[in-house]
Amino acid sequence: VRNGLEKVLFSDESHFFVQGQRSQHVRRSPTEKLCNAHIDQRVKHPQKKMFWGCFSYYGIGSLHPVEGMMRSPQYIEILRRKVAPELIKLFPDGSGVFQQDLAPCHTSKQVKNFFEENHINTLDWPGNSPDLNPIENLDLRVAAGRRNPSNLRDLAKEVVQNSSREVEEIH
């Protein structure tokens, strides 16, 4: 069934968390016997790493680690190095449409100028609607495959490996 979605390149950023350093707290009365239900494992300030990714009707595109928080100049670099080439490769006739949410770094004047200068059409997107973006399902599948990395280097490796498995599963 063709409904126009085959012309869209979906994108989003996601945080993935290191969950290896946990502290345990036991909540029970002094007379209660200790059991698993009483133990609460928490990471007070987990380390995290942001990744930007995209996919289309034709498969998964680039996965790019993001240093710190995404800002407009960094986002423009991703658009220049990842999105523009992906759109040209997938839609050489210029018919592709780029989807992004309404994060502040996506809607800045610099980003809007980049889209205009590079003739990139964007999909109108309603505010506060992450449920509509199909990439959220991919984020969850990649995260679900993690083996509980204990540091940022292992986390990045695990996310990239799981996203590669996603490519294999789709093709």
Nearest-angstrom CA–CA distance, 87 and 9 = 7
Residue 165 has pLDDT above 60, yes or no: no
Residue 6 has pLDDT above 60, yes or no: yes
Give the pLDDT confidence of 23-68 residue by residue, as tens digits.
455 666 778 787 777 666 666 677 778 889 888 988 888 788 898 8
CATH number of domain containing 113: 3.30.420.10
With a CB cutoff of 8 Å and minimum separation 6, the contacts of 142 are 16, 159, 162, 163, 166
Nearest-angstrom CA–CA distance, 80 and 115 = 10
Flag whether 80 is in a domain: yes
Residue 170 has pLDDT above 60, yes or no: no
Per-residue confidence (pLDDT) for residue 31, from 0 to 100: 83
Decide: 146 and 40 in contact? Cβ < 8 Å: no
* Whether pTM exceeds 0.75: no
Flag whether 91 is in a domain: yes
Nearest-angstrom CA–CA distance, 101 and 124 = 9
Give the pLDDT confidence of 59-83 residue by residue, as tens digits.
888 788 898 889 999 999 999 999 9
Mean pLDDT calculated for residue range 156-162: 67
Per-residue confidence (pLDDT) for residue 72, from 0 to 100: 96
Q: How many domains does the structure of the chain reveal?
A: 1
Nearest-angstrom CA–CA distance, 150 and 161 = 16
Give the pLDDT confidence of 77-118 residue by residue, as tens digits.
999 999 999 999 999 999 999 999 889 999 999 999 999 999
The parent domain of residue 72 ranges over 5-16+46-170
